[in-house]
Structure 1
């Protein structure tokens, strides 16, 4: 299995691999083809290393091929598992083991799955994959989601995925000790959105539409202006007022604008799903 978290240990790299335990723990699995118990567990260990996504490195040592290294470690029986942290052995298991026993040993020395999810989410944020990061963060237990640093990360994801209302609520409940430059930057981004979302141009269109609420061309113009500043619910609602009465309103332009906004929101957006169902109720 090709993975940066799984290595074949040999004389050329074993010192380097052990030095790597200064950054992340190294789990060495001593095995040999003649020992069925030691070979059978390898796929499970490989899958475990993938699941932990870099929280530890799995090093596989074939004791038949690397007898000198095996003797240096004093391996007496196969399979043997040894966990190294900061270059030193800190735990281990000898003889055939259930995978659950290995997981329990790792749990004593490695971050929890929730901590790993937070770490992965922060990495996703760094690469602008805010939607994926948000899904990870929102799946965390409530007590973790109440932590100030996690709240800030969720707020950033909400801003970047244009859920400004939820972001505003979250930023309004950040503990004082977390109101640092990162927090101030997020607040500034929210304020910039709110300013542009309520520009003089939009306010002027709103006044005109209040005076001419049956003007479909004006409604379409206001809806597009709302959409441009991510006020999509208001945009869809205005268009729906006319579309629900006439599917061909403004020679089909209203339906086109409506569909364009739904497409921009994406298939998984709850707001888009809600208005898509409304449209389908008219079509079918």
Structure 2
């Protein structure tokens, strides 16, 4: 075994661990790379004094981790459109240095300003552990079994297993998210929401919990979704009817066609990104959150949305 920040075996070349990233390489070097290992993104600028201290300390910590985490350096002055687009998507980049940890394509944690090396190591350790899951061997196997039950339609059995995991580890985000999803499958949305609201504050923004929250929102929308055929006819009769197109996207998702729903929302965003206070982009993010980060619908949808934002 090895210390989580100590590394083992031959060291990983620094060039593979630390990269200068631009708008053109962000999807590959951050979003897609974070499917394999956490990516720490350092937003900096040449004129930023604290950045000159933090950057080398981050690089040293990432190098010590020896492949458990990688680092992307983004000069915000040279990549202003990328920084603006990420800020529009909710990342607080008003001040630098800002460091954001990406896991499975999503930002899961961050800090701003320079930190001492001990706190940087603690931040990386937390991120690495989150990427590997909080559960140990036995609990990990129980979680896998519960997921299989849920996939096979045995939602009640899955709920019991997720609850048993929480009995052993009351801060297990995967178990909280799984238990909520089991209740969604049983069409008990109020109980699913109550479960997530009861999660400890320190894991309330974990990816598994955010995904379950998004699924609850989509399930509530599905309860009021209109007929797909009628809504499609309205859109075909008047392609500029943005409300009808948005309703069509909701109906398509309720019918189980997430790819078609994303396509309609992207078309709505292309036509009028500010319609209804940016409702198309918000709905896209809800769908992306609800699906696994490596789902082709998510990867393709995020790429197309990013290309529209940067255009």
Q: TM-score if structure 2 supplies the norm length?
A: 0.34
* Greater Rg by CA: 1
Q: TM-score if structure 1 supplies the norm length?
A: 0.37
More relative contact order in 1 or in 2 (CA 8 Å, sep 6+)? 2
